[in-house]
Amino acid sequence: MAETDARVAIVTGAARGIGAAVATRLAQDGMAVALLDLDEDSCAEAVEKIKASGGTAIAVGVDVSDSAAVDAAVQRVADELGAPTVLVNNAGILRDNLLFKMTDDDWDAVINVHLRGSFLMSRAVQKFQTEAKWGRIVNMSSTSALGNRGQANYAAAKAGLQGFTKTLAIELGKFNVTVNAIAPGFIATDMTAATAARVGVDFEDFKKGAAAMIPVGRVGTPEDIAHTASFLVSEGAGFVSGQVVYVAGGPKD
Ligand code: NAP
């Protein structure tokens, strides 16, 4: 039996990409996993795969930037799987544009999903974590937090998540709740494929170009991030808190 057996985990933005890989990995680790995404049906494939391998998973549709919907979704997870004590705030969107072309909507949409969404989800889940006197939160930041042309909104949100992470680590530590951030570099997902399409470069060429700049000589996979998340939410990682782990195939800071 896995050491994390019976823990209930929530992963947001879990229909595909990094979120689906994290959810799959946490289920393999023995957790019951709730896959949250905008559209409940979009999680069906990932949920079925987890169940087919003997895991426990449910899909829940929610917009993480909607306060009432978040509270209802977290309560539904508690009712159907048990008290959620592991949370991976992964849902994300891009609305890239240079500053002079960035609209109010581009700014608000990105800040709302990444920052407000992580705040609302964490506030809803901490109730169960502090009651259980155990918990793990992982926030998905990005190397873009260090600055990236065309991403003023996204970089601000991802840097904001790092301050959010450190503050929650200070507030929740006494309840045996750790809070960390993962800052992925280039990971091959629909998100990076969409970026390639936007700049008019074939995705395979885009990945080759990125890999040439990465010390380990390849781009990342969703499983690279899932492995790091698995460690951070594990029982044994209880003394790791308030950290930002760059998972980028080389050093970043
Ligand atoms: P992805 O393939 O685009 O998946 C993101 C998921 O989030 C989608 O399923 C999306 O649903 C969902 N989502 C968007 N808005 C939401 C909302 N308001 N409420 C609930 N779910 C929502 O992206 P990814 O590449 O796996 O990225 C996952 C996370 O890692 C993001 O936070 C991203 O910023 C971060 N990250 C990615 C990279 C990379 O290179 N890929 C690098 C650094 C950081 P829909 O499909 O319905 O929109």
Q: What percent of the residues of the chain are helix, what percent strand, and what percent coil, each to the nearest 5?
A: 55, 20, 30
The sign one gets for the Cα dihedral 223, 229, 231, 233 is negative
Task: Give the model's pLDDT for residue 253.
Answer: 78
Enumerate residues 6+ apart whose C-beta is below 8 A from 33: 8, 9, 10, 11, 14, 23, 26, 27, 50, 55, 56, 57, 58
Q: What is the mean pLDDT of residues 102-130?
A: 98
Task: Give the model's pLDDT for residue 2.
Answer: 43
C-alpha distances in angstroms, 138 versus 82, 213, 243?
19, 27, 10
Give the position, in ligand 1's atom list, of the atom nearest the Cα of 21.
Answer: 26
- Residue 149 DSSP code: T
**pLDDT over 60 (residue 72):** yes
Task: Give the model's pLDDT for residue 3.
Answer: 46
CA 235 to chain centre: 19
> Would residue 154 show up in a list of annotated catalytic residues for this protein?
yes
Domain boundaries, the chain: 2-185+222-245, 186-219
| Distance in angstroms (rounded) separating the CA atoms of residues 243 and 169 | 9
Q: Which of 38, 111, 119 to mutate to test the pocket of ligand 1 (most atoms within 8 A of CB)?
A: 38
Q: What is the mean pLDDT of residues 162-176?
A: 99
pLDDT digits (tens, 9 = 90+) for 243-252: 999 999 999 9
Task: Give the model's pLDDT for residue 6.
Answer: 75
**Nearest residue by C-alpha to atom 10 in ligand 1:** 13
Q: Which of 11, 22, 36, 37 to mutate to test the pocket of ligand 1 (most atoms within 8 A of CB)?
A: 37
Angle at 53 between CA 52 and CA 56, to 5 degrees: 80
| Distance in angstroms (rounded) separating the CA atoms of residues 161 and 111 | 10
Q: Separation of 1 CA from ligand 1 center, angstroms? A: 31
Is-contact 116 65, C-beta < 8 A? yes
Q: What is the mean pLDDT of residues 112-137?
A: 98
195 in ligand 1 pocket by Cβ < 6 Å?
A: no
Query: Using 50, 70 and 90 to split pLDDT, how confident is the model at 90?
Result: very high
Instruction: Say which of 107, 134, 154, 164 is annotated catalytic.
Output: 154
118 in ligand 1 pocket by Cβ < 6 Å?
A: no
Query: Using 50, 70 and 90 to split pLDDT, how confident is the model at 187?
Result: very high
Give the position, in ligand 1's atom list, of the atom nearest the Cα of 220.
Answer: 40
Q: What is the mean pLDDT of residues 127-133?
A: 98
pLDDT digits (tens, 9 = 90+) for 192-213: 999 999 999 999 999 999 999 9
**Nearest residue by C-alpha to atom 32 in ligand 1:** 92
The fold of 2-185+222-245 is Rossmann fold (3.40.50)
DSSP-assigned states of every residue in 104-138: HHHHHHHHIIIIIHHHHHHHHHHHHHHHHT-EEEE
Q: What is the mean pLDDT of residues 217-235?
A: 98
Q: What is the mean pLDDT of residues 172-188?
A: 98
Q: Separation of 37 CA from ligand 1 center, angstroms? A: 9
